[in-house]
Amino acid sequence: MTDPARRLAPVVRLAPAKVNLTLAVLGIRPDGYHELHSVMVPTGVADRLSLAVLPPGGADTLHVDGFDPGPLADNLVLRAIAAARAAARAAGFEPKLLLPLAARLEKRIPVAAGLAGGSSDAAAATDAALEAWGVDLPVETRRRIAAGLGSDVPFFAVGGPALVEGRGERLTPLAWLRDAPGWPDRPGLLLVTPDVPLATPAVFRAWDLGARGPAGAARLASSHLADELRRGMLTSDMLLVRASVLAAANDLAPAAAAVEPALVPFKRALLRQLGVPVGVSGSGPTHWALYASRAGAEEAAAKLREAVASGALVSPGPRPPFIEATTITAPASESLP
Ligand code: C5P
């Protein structure tokens, strides 16, 4: 166990949103989940989680600011802390030392948006809880906890781009983009989330019922991208050569549009406004576009905000869309100073 004095300071983690650059749905598995082939990347948009140790005897608590994640009792942060505690007990750590935790979550990632914010919070909470208790668990045990919390959770342990297969539990880390002269190593990324939260199971069900893209196209694009990243892809190739193929390579996009038909005219309007390929992340409704730099994404974000304000871009849902300029983030070990 760790020095008790360390527990006075809360453990703080940033929990990044992910984007699917490709997402192929290969079929339904006997357990009802879907077999996937997806290239996922972490982004610079992140929730902030802090965990402080409470005196013995009470329950874990959670306070959330920012986007409303729904009922706190269902929140993956509390479930992740409980799962970490159970795993620590099973590994022989003294239960009375696995003290209750007070979690504070600043939700900056839109909820039910295809960005896996809740899953990222769960991954961060598992890690932070173990650190708060001073408990180290083997990688295999951590992996099991993550997979038990949700299909998207294991990805966040990679810390960089990864090929995601199976239900989400089979991960192959992919090499980071290589610079071509004059290109930054972190492509700019524009995220646009209309205010129409989509439940992932409903989108998969729509896929089951036949709302699908052209058979095999997303799978081919996904395999190509994974291979290219493995070999060391140039940023310029991703942006200039691959962007339009990637933007089309999401098998859940037609299913998301079947659940929320207003996404069809919305995407058309976005394409008109931006003039660059626009993809969908996960089960939607977040749309993404790649830029040569963060500044390029910021310029596009400003233009879109103006279009929303003037009524030139009509976004479905009661509130204006979430529009954020950021970057795809490099793995920690390769990130810039
Ligand atoms: O694993 P998780 O609880 O995050 O998944 C949420 C829902 O998304 C599942 O209940 C299932 O309906 C669907 N899903 C799926 N196949 C996957 C991942 C998720 O069908 N690979």
In-domain check, residue 249:
yes
pLDDT in tens, 36-74: 999 999 999 999 999 999 999 999 999 999 999 999 988
In-domain check, residue 178:
no
pLDDT in tens, 14-29: 999 999 999 999 999 9
Residues 137 and 278 occupy one common structural domain: no
Residues 260 and 163 occupy one common structural domain: no
Residues 212 and 124 occupy one common structural domain: no
Number of domains into which the chain is organized: 2
Q: What is the pLDDT of residue 8?
A: 73
Residues 169 and 246 occupy one common structural domain: no
Q: Ligand 1 centre from 83 Cα, in Å?
A: 19
User: Has residue 326 got a pLDDT over 80?
Assistant: yes
pLDDT in tens, 152-192: 999 999 999 999 999 999 999 998 788 777 777 689 999 99
Nearest CA to ligand 1 atom 4: 150
Q: What is the pLDDT of residue 277?
A: 97
Between 288 and 8, residue with greater pLDDT: 288
Strand partners, 66: 107
Q: Ligand 1 centre from 10 Cα, in Å?
A: 32
Residues 121 and 251 occupy one common structural domain: no
Q: Which of 173, 197, 228 is the last residue of a domain?
A: 173
In-domain check, residue 306:
yes
Q: What is the pLDDT of residue 241?
A: 84
In-domain check, residue 150:
yes
Q: Which domain holds residue 154?
A: 4-173
Rounded Cα distance between 165 and 262, Å, is 30
Please tell me the least confidently modeled range out of 221-230, 238-247, 323-332.
323-332
Q: What is the 3-state secondary structure (H, E, C) of the chain?
A: CCCHHHHHCCEEEEEEEEEEEEEEEEEECCCCCEEEEEEEEEEEEEEEEEEEECCCCCCCEEEEEECCCCCHHHCHHHHHHHHHHHHHHHCCCCHHHCCCEEEEEEECCCCCCCCCHHHHHHHHHHHHHHHHHCCCCCHHHHHHHHHHHCCCCHHHHCCCCEEEEECCCEEEECCCCECCCCCCCCCEEEEEECCCCCCHHHHHHHHHCCCCCCCCHHHHHHHHHHHHHHHCCEHHHHHHHHHHHHHHCECCHHHHHHHCCCHHHHHHHHHHHHCCCCEECCCCCCEEEEECCHHHHHHHHHHHHHHHHHCCCCCCCCCCCEEEEEEECCCHHHCCC
pLDDT in tens, 109-166: 999 999 999 999 999 999 999 999 999 999 999 999 999 999 999 999 999 999 999 9
User: Has residue 93 got a pLDDT over 90?
Assistant: yes
Active site residue 96: no
Active site residue 303: no
Q: Ligand 1 centre from 236 Cα, in Å?
A: 34
Which ligand 1 atom sits closest to the C-alpha of 168? 21
Q: Ligand 1 centre from 206 Cα, in Å?
A: 13
Question: What pTM did the predictor assign?
Answer: 0.95
167 lines ligand 1 (CB under 6 A): yes
User: Has residue 333 got a pLDDT over 70?
Assistant: no
Across 89-109, average pLDDT: 97
**Ligand 1 pocket test target in 40, 200, 212, 251 with most atoms within 8 Å of CB:** 200
In-domain check, residue 131:
yes
Residues 321 and 292 occupy one common structural domain: yes
In-domain check, residue 137:
yes
Q: What is the pLDDT of residue 185?
A: 66
The domain that holds 94 is classified in CATH as 3.30.230.10
The domain that holds 249 is classified in CATH as 3.30.70.890
79 lines ligand 1 (CB under 6 A): no
235 lines ligand 1 (CB under 6 A): no
Q: What is the pLDDT of residue 335?
A: 38
Residues 110 and 77 occupy one common structural domain: yes
In-domain check, residue 308:
yes
Q: What is the pLDDT of residue 178?
A: 80
Residues 167 and 222 occupy one common structural domain: no
Residues 143 and 233 occupy one common structural domain: no
Residues 222 and 300 occupy one common structural domain: yes
pLDDT confidence bin for 7, thresholds 50/70/90: low
Rounded Cα distance between 106 and 67, Å, is 8
User: Has residue 13 got a pLDDT over 80?
Assistant: yes
pLDDT in tens, 267-313: 999 999 999 999 999 999 999 999 999 999 999 999 999 999 999 99
Residues 78 and 206 occupy one common structural domain: no
Q: What is the pLDDT of residue 265?
A: 98
Which ligand 1 atom sits closest to the C-alpha of 36? 21
Q: What is the pLDDT of residue 132?
A: 97
